[in-house]
Amino acid sequence: MNLRRTTTTRRALAAVAITTGLVLSVAGCGGDGDGGQPKSSSTSAPAEKDTDPKQPESESPSDKTLAETKDGDLTVTITSATRDQGGFVNVTGTVRNGGNSSWMGAEWQSDERELAVNGGSLSGASLIDTQGKKKYLVLRDTTGRCLCTKFSRLRAGDSASWYAQFPAPPEGTTEVTFQVGSMPPAPIEISEGE
């Protein structure tokens, strides 16, 4: 029994190491003929925006809403789900705390012991492919950190951007369901990346 568990663990760690290596390779190989300037990586967290409340925000294609789900005072909005060439799906969006107290994201973390170091994060999120009958968990690096947002305190009335990276379902699969914590499932459509 212990031999089987050790073998399974080694295989899982090898798969994570290979996946992480591929992600880093794809991110480091970018370049689109612009004088050697690196392309921005699709695996990094979305940049925080400093917005001036006096200036209206322009609506860009990434500001569209694919899905929105609500549980109590929390509202999760999904703005993109993009399949990249490395075989991953990057999902981004925002979470808004409409309650009267702070929120830390603890109920969204994974139950897996390996992911306990992530604290309040999206490590417990998943994509469900109902057609293929498969569940895809958030990817992690070799140290057990999820490739997802780790939340700090989200005060009442505040919003925060988030991202999570998953293994991609088969090429023909474009519709999946995003699920995290006790939030109701949110059906989303995967678009093809560049």
Indicate which CATH number applies to the domain containing 138: 2.60.40.10
Distance (Å, rounded) from C-alpha 21 to C-alpha 70?
Answer: 36
To the question of pTM greater than 0.75 for the whole model, the response is: no
Residue 26 in domain: no
Distance (Å, rounded) from C-alpha 44 to C-alpha 36?
Answer: 20
Q: Which domain holds residue 122?
A: 61-192
Q: Are the C-beta atoms of residues 105 and 180 closer than 8 Å to each other?
A: no
Q: Are the C-beta atoms of residues 70 and 150 closer than 8 Å to each other?
A: no
Residue 27 in domain: no
Residue 139 in domain: yes
Half-sphere exposure of residue 133: CA atoms within 13 angstroms, side-chain side = 0
User: Residue 124: what pLDDT?
Assistant: 85
Residue 51 in domain: no
DSSP three-state, residue 29: coil
| 12-24 residue pLDDT tens | 555 555 555 544 4
Ranges of the chain with pLDDT below 70:
1-63, 111, 113-119, 194
Residue 18 in domain: no
Domain count along the chain: 1
Residue 22 in domain: no
Residue 192 backbone zone (phi > 0: left; psi -120 to 50: alpha; other: beta): beta
Residue 35 in domain: no
Residue 56 in domain: no
User: Residue 151: what pLDDT?
Assistant: 83
